Structures are given as structure tokens and as C-alpha cells.
Chain A
Amino acid sequence: MWMLLSGLLLGWSLGANHTANVFGTGVATGTVSYRAAILLTAVFVAVGAFLEGPKCMSTVGALSRLTPIDAFYCALAAGIMMSLLTFLSFPGSASQAVVGAVIGAGIFSGTADFSKLYKIVVCWACTPFFAILASYTLYRLLGYLLDRTVTSITQRNLIYSVGTIVTGCYGAYCLGSNNVANVTGVYVGAGMLSPFAASLIGGFSIASGVLTYSKKVMMTIGKGIAPLDPFSALVAVLAGAITIHVFTQVGVPVSSSQAIVGAVVGIGISGDVQTVSLRMLTKIGLGWISAPASAALLAYLFIRFDTLETMITFFRHLSPTFGNAPL
């Protein structure tokens, strides 16, 4: 079971990094306290993973035939590449890194199924555009309805407060349901876990990241989105969540960050097209290539040189008793 460790680490880092996408604006603007936000996110991520997580599991597992050690290397490669891309401020996604790693492992073993990759790549490309469309439509529709039904400042304030919490919970649910496949999907493909057990373990690992290490990213990302007015922030989170939920039903894990960025762009378009930054779109495009390609290369190299075995041999060379105790 120690091979699950790399997946748990990936889940932990995903939880720490992605909570900001759902409650960042709420916390940064003071609508929700950080403690309440992480508790709500942890609960709804786990519920989402538990109820709808299995829908995306088969997609990741079906890309290649993986052995348990391959699954370990895939999750490790995805985790390392995600951390590196985050460090370099590249908007790479866990979904893209995991899929890239599984394909890399498949290339090595000759079992990579590129016909399944087609559906995934189309979904990745569609994610920001779907989010743009969803946020544009929601912004116009909800704006029209609110202007005609809720005009009082106190009622609006109440709607925005409640809306931020409700959409945050829904966003957390969608994050859990879609992204849990990134964390433990490879183990389902390797036959180590059932989809149900994988959802449960993955959900809890994401929740642990949310609870223990999400504050820094939440404040950084949240303050970046917070200059939006409360209504726009609410629509951005809702549109991002709907986008992720739609792709969960399709069975493809997608990037929640790219969904949120797309949603913010959609709001910019409904107000002023000038807010759409070509630089940001280029960065997303580069993320589509860099995250899966680098994770694929790293997973390939890990498996090719059987890194774990090489390291154990190296340490045994240094100390003959190293690794004798059962892991």
C-alpha cells in the first residue's frame, strides 16, 4: 500500500492549491472566514469525490495498462511536475499532468491508448471556452433577473453573502467529483483500488490538503480575483463549477484553474473585451502542452530507469543494511 503515497501527496497538493479556486474570493473579501471556508471545502470535496468521483476514474485508468509500480511513478511524476510548474507560475493542471504521466508510462510499456486521449484533449481545449460561455450567459441572465427582482442594497448584500457560500460549496463538490480521478485514478487503472475505495481515499487526501496547507495560495489567488465586484466573483465561481461539473458527467478530469480563468474572461467580455489578455491565453495554451509533456517525460524516465530500485541499490551500496526492513 506504500505505493499509494505518491497519489496521496498529489491529492494533498491538489487540495492545498485548488481551494483558492472555490473560496478564494470569499475569504479574501472577508465574506467567509478562512476556517469556515476550509471546513466547507473539505466536507464538500469529500462528498463530491465520494458521490461522483468514480465517473472520471475509468477515463484515467483506460489510457494505458499500468502495473502498481507504474501507478506509483505516474502519480509521483505528476506531483513533481505540478509542484515545478506551480513554482514557475505556469498554469499547469493536475489533470493534464496525470494524463501525461499515464501516457508516458504507456509509451514505455507499449500499451498507451491514444484513441482515448482524443476525447480528453478535446475536453481540455473546451474547458476555458465552455467557462467563458457559461460565465457570459450567467452574468447577463442573473444580472437581468437581479436588476428586476432584487433592488434593495440590504437584500443584494444578503444574496451576495449567501451566494458566495453556496457557490463555494458547489465549487468544492465539483472539484472533488472531477479531480479525485487525478489523485487515485491511476491506482484504479493498475487494479490496486476499486473506484469506490479510490474515490474515498482520494477525497480524503484532497480534503487533508485543504485543511492543512491552503491558506497561502487562497490569499494570493483570492486577492487576485477579489478586485471583481461581489456579483462578478460569484458568477465566476459558479460558472467555473458548472463547467467542471459538466465535464465530470462526460467523465473527463479537467483543470479547475483553467475553468475559473475562463469564467473571469467571460465576465470581462460581458463588460469590456479589453480585459481579455492575450498573454494569459498564451500561458494557458503553453500549460496544455508543458504539463502533460513534462509529466509524460518524467514518468517515462522514472519507469525506464526504475528509479526506486536504483535508489535502493545505491543506498544499499552505501549501507548494506538499508531497506532490509519491510516497507
Chain B
Amino acid sequence: MVLERLLSLGKKERDVTEDMRRHIELLCDACKTFKAALENEDRKLMREVIDLERQGDSARRGVISHIYEGAFLPYLRPDLCKFVEVVDEVFDLLKDTATYCLDTDLPEPLRGECVRVALLNFRMSEMLMIAFDAMLKGQDLREKTLAIRIYEKKIDDMKFSIINEAQQIPVSDFWSGKMLSDLISGLTSISNVIEDASDHLQILNLSTR
């Protein structure tokens, strides 16, 4: 184990960081696809989000298995795994929201705001990618995490206006109302989980110093 670690000169660790990068890239793609699907009412694109979630799952399994094969010091492993799990939670929320979108028609008065939220989610995922790259280079993450927090705050503010707007929309039965409520809740919760992921990046960055 010792010799393997010394001679590989961090190959396992590089594999892990490449897999983690791919995982976040997939998240960016998923957020972008979701936004486009919501904007254009494209059901095919919405199904693509569900496919991307599956690819994200496979990337997560790759990262976790590489870590348990001995990449990185055991001291760092729990934080790395936690970060990957949190990013996976974003994928899960995106998939659930995409499924609600497939099952229900988003009322026109809500579409504009929801598309804006989806765009901000996409921007947050891009910022998470930038923060991850900065973490790999050992740069300061404060500005990046601050940007993510600002985006999250914006989405939080928009959430209440969407809910207020939604209250004016008549619903035909309990289930269609519940589906709409879950859709809005899922869409506006994605930012919270991305913010958690950025907090974990900050913890990872600090724990190596």
C-alpha cells in the first residue's frame, strides 16, 4: 500500500478529482437541460434530465469506489464522500422536479418565474464548478461561495412570490394541486442543496490547510 501510494504519485487522487469534476459537469448539463425543457415545454428534453441523473449516479459510484480503493488520506475521505453525496442530492431533486413537470402542465402565469429560478439554478451549478476547480488549485473560495449564497437568497425571495402567484391559480383536484406544489417546492429547493455542496467544498478546502 505504501509503495503503491508513493509510486503512483497521486494517480488515484487524480482519478477521483476527474470523476468529481465529471459529476459536477453532468449537474451543470442537467440544470441547463432542465431550464431549456421548462422554457420550451420540451418533454423530450425533460426526459433527458432523468437520463443525466442516471449518468450522475454512475459518476458518483465511480468516485466513491475510487475513494474506498484508497485514494486520499482517510482524514479527507468522509468530507469528499459527503460532498459527492450532496451533489447527488441535487440530481435527485432535479429528477423529481423533471418528473413532476412531465406529469403536470406548468400554469402560464408561473412559467416566467420558474424559468428564472431554473436559470439561477444553472448559474449556481456553474459557480459550483468554478469553486470546485478553485478548490483543486488551492485558491480561496470565499468569493465563489458568497456568489452561490447570493443566488440562493435571490431564489428564496422568488420562492414566496411564486407561491403567492400559485395561490391565485385554480386547481381541478387535490392531486393536481399537490403536484404543482411539489414541483415548485422541488424547483426552489435545488439552490439550498447546491449551497450545502459549496459549504462542503469550503470545509474540504480548509481541512487540507
Q: Residues of A at under 8 Å CB distance from B?
A: 29-33, 36, 40, 147, 150-158, 160-162, 165, 229-231
Contacts and interface: CB of A to CB of B under 8 A. Distances in A.
Given A36-B1, A165-B2, A157 B72 contact: yes
A230 B2 CA distance: 16
Given A31-B74, A162-B6, A230-B73, A154 B13 contact: yes
Given A29-B74, A161-B6, 12 more contacts: A30-B74, A31-B74, A33-B2, A147-B209, A151-B138, A151-B139, A152-B138, A153-B17, A153-B205, A155-B10, A158-B13, A161-B73
Closest 5 pairs between A and B when the two form their complex, measured CB to CB: A151-B138, A30-B74, A154-B13, A158-B10, A36-B2
Interface string B71-95: 0111110000000000000000000
A147 to B, nearest CB: 7
A155 B137 CA distance: 9
A130 to B, nearest CB: 27
B5 interface: yes
B207 interface: yes
A36 B137 CA distance: 32
Interface of B: 1-2, 5-6, 9-10, 13-14, 17, 72-76, 135-139, 204-205, 207-209
Nearest to B135: A153
A137 B20 CA distance: 36
Contacts of A162: 5-6
A154 B12 CA distance: 9
A33 B74 CA distance: 12
A157 B138 contact: no
Of B2, B76, B135, B139, the most chain A CB neighbours within 10 A belong to B2
A158 B76 CA distance: 12
Contact of A157 (B1, B2, B10, B139): B10
Contact of A229 (B74, B138, B207): B207
Nearest to A39: B2
A151 B137 CA distance: 6
A150 B73 contact: no
B136 A153 contact: yes
Given A33-B2, A36-B2, A153 B73 contact: no
Nearest to B14: A154
Contacts of A150: 138
B138 A156 contact: yes
Nearest to A161: B5
Contacts of B135: 153
Nearest to A146: B209
A36 B6 CA distance: 13
A31 B137 CA distance: 23
19 contacts: A29-B74, A30-B74, A31-B73, A32-B2, A36-B2, A147-B209, A152-B138, A153-B17, A153-B76, A153-B205, A153-B208, A154-B14, A157-B13, A157-B72, A157-B208, A161-B5, A162-B5, A229-B75, A231-B209
Nearest to A154: B13
A284 B61 CA distance: 49
A16 to B, nearest CB: 22
Of A31, A40, A153, A157, the most chain B CB neighbours within 10 A belong to A153
Given A31-B73, A32-B1, A165 B136 contact: no
A152 B1 contact: no
A103 to B, nearest CB: 42
Contacts of A40: 2
A56 to B, nearest CB: 30
A152 B137 contact: yes
Contacts of B72: 157
A231 B9 CA distance: 18
Contacts of B136: 152-154
B81 to A, nearest CB: 14
